[in-house]
Structure 1
Amino acid sequence: MKVSLLVVLICLVAIPSVKCCTSSQYQCNNGQCIPASKLCDHVTDCSDGSDEIRHVTGFKCPMGARGYTCVLPQRLLSDNATQCTDGADLCRPIRGVPTCNKCVAANVTLTSEQMCDGIIDCPDLSDECLCDITNAQTLCNHMTFGQVIYCDNNTKTVTHSKVCDGTIDCADMLDERYCRHTAAKRIKSCLSHNRTTINAFDCDGILECGDLSDECNSSCTNVPAFCSVAPNYASDGNRSFQCAGNSSRNISFYAWDICDGIWTPCNPRIQQEEINCPARFYCSGGNPISIDDWKVCDGVKNCLNGSDEINCTDRFYCVSGNPLSVPLSYMFDGYDDCSDGSDECPPALDTNLYSSRHEMIKNVGIKIWLWVMAITGLIGNTTVFLYTLKTLRDTKQSTLSKGNLYLILNLNVADAMMSVYLLIVGIKSIEFSGNYCFVELSWVTSVTCESIGSFAALSAQVSLFTLVIMTSQRLYSVYYPIRAMSARLRWIFVALLSVWCGFIVISAVPAMDANLFVDGLWIPSKYFISPIVRSSQLPHIVSTLQFITETTRFLPITTLHSIEAYLSSGQFASRGRFGFYSENSLCVPHFFTPATDNGWQYPTLLVTINMFAFTYVAIAYFMIYRKSVNKDLKSNQGSKHLRVMQKRVTKLVIANFICWLPICVASYVQLALPNEFSHSLFVVTAVFLFPINSVVNPLLYSDVFENLFSKVKGRIYNATAPENAIELSSAT
């Protein structure tokens, strides 16, 4: 005896990595080995009872030959062998992400299915009380500092360790109410078949007490049919039951065998054993004939023909079929619960007009348009920039003309920046091709996305306000031509410097003021239904974490920086910020912000300023046009100049209105709507509206392309001139 005990001690303490039991056995907490088939079968085989642990905190999964659910010791989760019939204890990662989860303050591992399921599985209560949605919210609302909960109308406190420990400590049963799938009118203590005291849920459809008193009593609305015939088969002081008939008289069965979906081999069969059982789902064929209601639509075919998993409207069916399905709440939560990740990237995403599971921009026409606009804008602005530099260097210009040329150079730089933005978007679209959905969150919350978003915003703003300066200069020169001739260039440089400095700051503001512009943090966790935890949720999460982990009251943590710092030390470390430039895959500034979002005043003010700016440009050019009409109408040359200006001004105004009017209107409309516009509007803004000025401005504000066209036209005419002369002489 001493030798065997010494072997057990060596096995469990000295070299815990060594298995004392074979692969077909289960090792009890005391080192005893029992057949794995006897695990969790309602019969205590381990002398310490560790093979039949239920309804307490810990890692739970189906075990043994009958597939009942029990608590698996934490030490068996790292032995590379499985005791769970579904293999959940192996915690196999999907695409490098573990499928098991850790409690916050307790060193306890759980399955993903145990998170936020309304049942307390973590000794620190974190698996439910940190969740966005949980059926155990009543319990969580009674948490306070010191790792305790209030119960009995706030007259008593119990520590977290006493919640779901199998002992009722609160008269209102709050400490043991959220420990299993079924609900109950009350919890009662009774004797099981082996005369041990257990806590049974009254009237939940599951027979637990040896004498069936938890379900066969007058307080239950629906009682199993077996209750009416139980006295006919009772034995052992009503702790067990025996079949009738000579051939099976020695066969005994117990409370848990009744209404469990499997017939006891009595001959003749006791019909009441498995019919009219409350809280059961009856399979359409095969064995078992029924299952617990809570197992219906759980992603596992518990019925032989799978009838329990058909038409589950609250489930998403994995494309791979492994598992069969997952709760709808698991979709887009940042974790691959389906082996192929289809719960995060479902086929429905392919119905989007502009993007898909595999492509950031799936529409070939839009891709071509993006590249054409990017390359055309870059070539056009570079050409005009070089031509304007050459003009400044090679020809003598008046101060007024020089000012105009410097403004054109500035406009070229700003518009070329937009082309660079489009090129980066195009390159990223190619980089993410075939795998976009799985990298979307890391992309939109990245520094690169935020940088090119602010880059595009800076380009659009500088371009527009360069037009404002250019328009103001032309308006001044038309109404005050003599004063304009003596104007100094420094005023233009001061204006341009102010525009650049001002909008560099304005474009960077969303990145600098996190409290105002960050809508949420990217925190992938099974505690939350979305990987993007909104800013409004963060204070509650922090306070709950303090209830769970702290023994004394701490000062409130409210600013985003302090929240990030507090969360960074645990499993809730932020992997990125979700803000002004992260709302869409193209990193377009979030001009379309509902009044309920953080920092909605910023884009509204910016859009309003822009609306006044392009309206001013339109009115100013109309005034320039009218002034020119009065001045040049008498001369033919003036009429020709007037027609040229009229066309140019018309194109300019149309280009500005096409670019900014839709953005302004959509932004104002969004303020009045509770839900945000679809992703399509951001695509239209980035690919169609923003590039308009980038491509059109070089054509309107410089005569380089007009002169180039005239030269080409002249050369064509000269090349055909001899033929024209021969035809003319022949005709004479």
Structure 2
Amino acid sequence: WAPLTAIACDGKPECIDMEDECQDKCGEKQPFCSKIGPTGLFTCSEQFTLPGRLICDGHKNCSKSGEDEIGCINRFVCKNESAKVYSVRKNQECDFSADCEDASDEANCPSTHFYCEGGKPFFVDRRSMFDGKRDCEDGSDECPKDSFKGSVFSSAENMIENRFLQVMVWVMGLLAVGGNAAVIVHTISLLCYHARRKLTKVAMVYSCMVLNLSVADLLMGVFLIALGITNASTSGNYCLKDHSWRSGTPCFVLGTLAVLSSEVSLVTLAILSSYRMFCVIWPIQSRTLQVHVSIGLAISTWVYAGTIAFLPFSKMFQEYFVSQTMLSTNPYFFTEIIDKPAFKTFSKILLSYSNVSYEINKNEDMFTWEKMSQRLEAFNPEYKALGYFGYYSTHATCLPKLFVDRRDVGWQFSLSVTITNFILCLYIVGAYAVIFRPRQVNKTAMTSQGTRNMQRRIAILVATDCACWLPICIIAFLNFSGVEISNTVYSITAIIILPINSALNPLFYSNAVQVLCAKML
């Protein structure tokens, strides 16, 4: 059998005598043209002939040599050349259908295929990755083995992989909540009940600021416990929830709590240091300071810290702080995590189908995260932005990146906060250097047991706080200058060094815990 018509010079003989491929106008002749025998047909070395339609058809019809398949163009040669299927058409490669017996025509398609680690099935559509469904029998399409390669905290199984850090999150969280709750209750009782009549103005100002510090440190404890609960609830299959967790509102809220707590705590320490220094330098004038001034200062710490903490969460600054978005499953992207250039290109394509002028298409205001998400949802309500990755989404712990470089989202903002914190730390150290400097007017006071005890607590507090904040700032500066910081240093800094003050401050800055223990005993 032979067709009445054929496509000439396409590399696949169809005429019985191969005249559609072996004529002069086809230019350089294919290897099979040299095998035309006296009969005008393709002649195998075994001395039997084949019609043109059996040449380059993917099967070795010349039983021994297989020469009818050698040199064929627009063909993909299967790796197992001895199999029944020798080759397939080039357009059958990476078409999600295994045409070679060994599926080698689908084995080198990384842009469209995901290869199941267990081999059952051999591959799935890459667009089905991270869609919440296990298309691979072993679930590797949802949890690829290299998806957490280089992660500071996480693995495919656990949000916080290191067992020591898992324990420390709970220990410090419980200490921070318990210790600061005790300080808050004790301080409120001093300010509101019978003990208030015995308090001087200096003591009341001090108590107000300690209360402010304790509330801030309590928030850090809440953050740590929430982190521990999330780690426990996702243990064993964290990778299935990583994207939705880091791009979701709960993670943003936890990150905001941590920043709010740490900044209020540090600024409150600076205010307390200033007040202590004021009392030492001008002891008489310090007694005239009104309590409402300390309340105003306490409120100002929350305004300052709230601005820093909530700014990355604000839609007003979304363009600066957001680097990626998480989209619902759709046929337009191979992955659910999309960066802005890719989303912008797609959004321009959508606009090209609408009656939008070229000038508007060039307007960058048309391509904000919010407007592009709205445009996608208007195109099809089933396709929408499920969340955003930004300032609080770098790691699973939801903390902003402590050590940034120029490649990180919002690095100018992060570096500015670090510089401010460093200056506050230096100020606190300088303030207590003034406080501890011997003064003739305070010579009698300095010999009292109460003053010595107070100064001892202050010395421990300043030492612990500065021992935490100063190294954090210095390491951040080193990292920004190009010094490589290991993941181990980063994880210990973020999980232990940063929040440890919240657990220890109640022990050093107030005697509430000691009073509570004394009553219990």
The bucket for the TM-score relative to the shorter chain is 0.7 to 0.9
Matched, 1:227 2:36: no
> 2:182–2:516: 8 Å Cα contact kept in structure 1?
no
Residues in 2 aligned to 1:313 and 1:553: alpha-carbon distance in whole angstroms? 38
Give the drift of 1:419: 0.4
Q: 1:377 aligns with which of 173, 176, 189?
A: 176
Give the drift of 1:461: 0.8
Residues in 2 aligned to 1:325 and 1:592: alpha-carbon distance in whole angstroms? 39
Alignment partner, residue 258 of structure 1: 55
Residues in 2 aligned to 1:481 and 1:398: alpha-carbon distance in whole angstroms? 13
User: What runs of 5+ residues in structure 1 fail to find an aligned partner?
Assistant: 1-42, 44-192, 236-240, 716-732
Give the drift of 1:399: 0.3
Matched, 1:274 2:82: no
- Distance change >3 Å, CA 570–CA 485, structure 1 → 2: same
Q: 1:517 aligns with which of 303, 321, 333?
A: 321
TM-score under structure 1 length normalisation: 0.60
Residues in 1 aligned to 2:320 and 2:219: alpha-carbon distance in whole angstroms? 27
Residues in 2 aligned to 1:263 and 1:285: alpha-carbon distance in whole angstroms? 9
Matched, 1:322 2:124: no
Residues in 1 aligned to 2:452 and 2:373: alpha-carbon distance in whole angstroms? 61
Alignment partner, residue 637 of structure 1: 447
Higher Rg: 1
Residues in 1 aligned to 2:155 and 2:147: alpha-carbon distance in whole angstroms? 5
- Distance change >3 Å, CA 527–CA 341, structure 1 → 2: farther
Alignment partner, residue 510 of structure 2: 702
> 1:421–1:455: 8 Å Cα contact kept in structure 2?
yes
Q: 1:614 aligns with which of 409, 420, 425?
A: 425
Q: 1:625 aligns with which of 436, 445, 448?
A: 436
Q: How does 1:180-199 map to 2 (within 5 A)?
A: 194-196=3-5, 198=7
Residues in 2 aligned to 1:194 and 1:260: alpha-carbon distance in whole angstroms? 15
- Distance change >3 Å, CA 200–CA 525, structure 1 → 2: farther
User: What runs of 5+ residues in structure 2 fail to find an aligned partner?
Assistant: none
| Larger fraction in strand | 1
Alignment partner, residue 394 of structure 1: 194
- Distance change >3 Å, CA 262–CA 319, structure 1 → 2: same
Q: 2:83 aligns with which of 277, 283, 286?
A: 286
Q: How does 1:110-509 map to 2 (within 5 A)?
A: 194-196=3-5, 198=7, 201=10, 206-207=11-12, 210=15, 211=18, 224-230=30-36, 232=38, 234=40, 253-255=51-53, 257-264=54-61, 271-277=66-72, 280-281=77-78, 283=80, 285-291=82-88, 304=101, 317-325=115-123, 338-348=136-146, 354-392=153-191, 393-395=193-195, 396-509=198-311
Matched, 1:656 2:455: no
Residues in 2 aligned to 1:416 and 1:367: alpha-carbon distance in whole angstroms? 19
Which residue identity is paired with 1:550? S
What are the Cα deviations for residues 154-184 of structure 1, in whole angstroms up to 9, with x where unaligned?
xxxxxxxxxxxxxxxxxxxxxxxxxxxxxxx
- Distance change >3 Å, CA 650–CA 198, structure 1 → 2: farther
Give the drift of 1:288: 2.5
> 2:9–2:20: 8 Å Cα contact kept in structure 1?
no
Root-mean-square deviation (CA), in Å? 4.0
What are the Cα deviations for residues 378-411 of structure 1, in whole angstroms up to 9, with x where unaligned?
1111112222223333331110111001111111
| Larger fraction in helix | 2
Residues in 1 aligned to 2:341 and 2:210: alpha-carbon distance in whole angstroms? 46
**Bigger CA drift: 334-343 or 683-692?**
334-343
Number of corresponding residues? 502
> 1:330–1:337: 8 Å Cα contact kept in structure 2?
yes
> 2:153–2:396: 8 Å Cα contact kept in structure 1?
no
Residues in 1 aligned to 2:489 and 2:335: alpha-carbon distance in whole angstroms? 23
Q: Secondary structure at the match of 1:411?
A: helix
Q: 1:569 aligns with which of 351, 354, 378?
A: 378
Give the drift of 1:258: 1.9
- Distance change >3 Å, CA 679–CA 194, structure 1 → 2: farther
TM-score under structure 2 length normalisation: 0.82
Q: Secondary structure at the match of 2:396?
A: coil
Residues in 2 aligned to 1:296 and 1:577: alpha-carbon distance in whole angstroms? 36
> 2:326–2:385: 8 Å Cα contact kept in structure 1?
yes
